[in-house]
Amino acid sequence: MLGQGFVSAAAIAASVLFVLSLGGLSNQEKAKRAVWYGIVGMGVAVVFTAFGPGIGNYWLMIPMIVIGSVIGWKVAKQVAMTEMPQLVAALHSFVGLAAVFVAWNADLERRRVLAAQALDATHQEFSAFAALVATKAPDELTFLQLEVVFAIFIGAVTFTGSVIAFGKLAGKVDGKPHKLPGGHMLNAGAAVVCLLLAILYLNGAGFWTLLILAALAFFIGWHLIMGIGGADMPVVVSMLNSYSGWAAAAIGFTLSNDLLIVTGALVGSSGAILSYIMCKAMNRNFVSVILGGFGGTQGPAAEIEGEQVAIDAAGVASSLNNADSVVIVPGYGMAVAQAQNAVSELVRKLRSAGKEVRFAIHPVAGRLPGHMNVLLAEARVPYDIVLEMDEINDDFPKTDVTIVIGSNDIVNPAAQDDPNSPIAGMPVLEVWKSTVVFVCKRGQGTGYSGIENPLFYKDNTRMFYGDARESIDSLLSLLD
Question: Span 295-301, mean pLDDT?
Answer: 53
Could you say which of 78, 105, 125 is where a domain stops?
A: 78
SS3 326: strand
Question: Span 259-272, mean pLDDT?
Answer: 88
| pTM summary value | 0.78
Count: domains in the chain: 3
pLDDT of residue 393: 94
Same domain flag for 138 and 115: yes
pLDDT winner (highest mean) among 225-234, 238-247, 445-454: 238-247
pLDDT of residue 325: 96
Question: Span 353-374, mean pLDDT?
Answer: 85
Question: Span 338-362, mean pLDDT?
Answer: 93
Same domain flag for 207 and 280: yes
Catalytic residue status for 139:
no
Q: List C-alpha distances in Å: 166 to 101, 175, 263.
A: 21, 11, 23
Give me the sign of the Cα torsion angle 114, 116, 122, 125. Answer: negative
The answer to whether the CB of 415 falls within 8 A of the CB of 441 is no
Could you say which of 78, 105, 127 is where a domain stops?
A: 78
Q: State the catalytic residue, choosing from 107, 232, 409, 418.
A: 409
Model confidence band, residue 405 (pLDDT cutoffs 50, 70, 90): very high
Percent of the chain's residues with pLDDT above 70: 89
Residue 65 domain boundaries:
1-78
Condensed to tens digits (0 to 9), the pLDDT of residues 274-294 reads 888 777 777 777 676 666 554
pLDDT of residue 446: 64
pLDDT at 182 over 50: yes
pLDDT at 268 over 80: yes
Question: Span 133-138, mean pLDDT?
Answer: 74
Could you say which of 58, 78, 98 is where a domain stops?
A: 78
Query: Buried (b) or exposed (e) across 415-443, using 16+ Cβ within 10 A?
Result: bbebeebbbbebbbbbbbbbebbbbbbee
Same domain flag for 70 and 97: no
Same domain flag for 147 and 238: yes
Same domain flag for 31 and 46: yes
Condensed to tens digits (0 to 9), the pLDDT of residues 306-317 reads 788 999 999 999
- Residue 87 falls inside a structural domain: yes
Model confidence band, residue 57 (pLDDT cutoffs 50, 70, 90): confident
pLDDT of residue 295: 46
Same domain flag for 422 and 376: yes
pLDDT of residue 180: 85
Question: Span 9-22, mean pLDDT?
Answer: 88
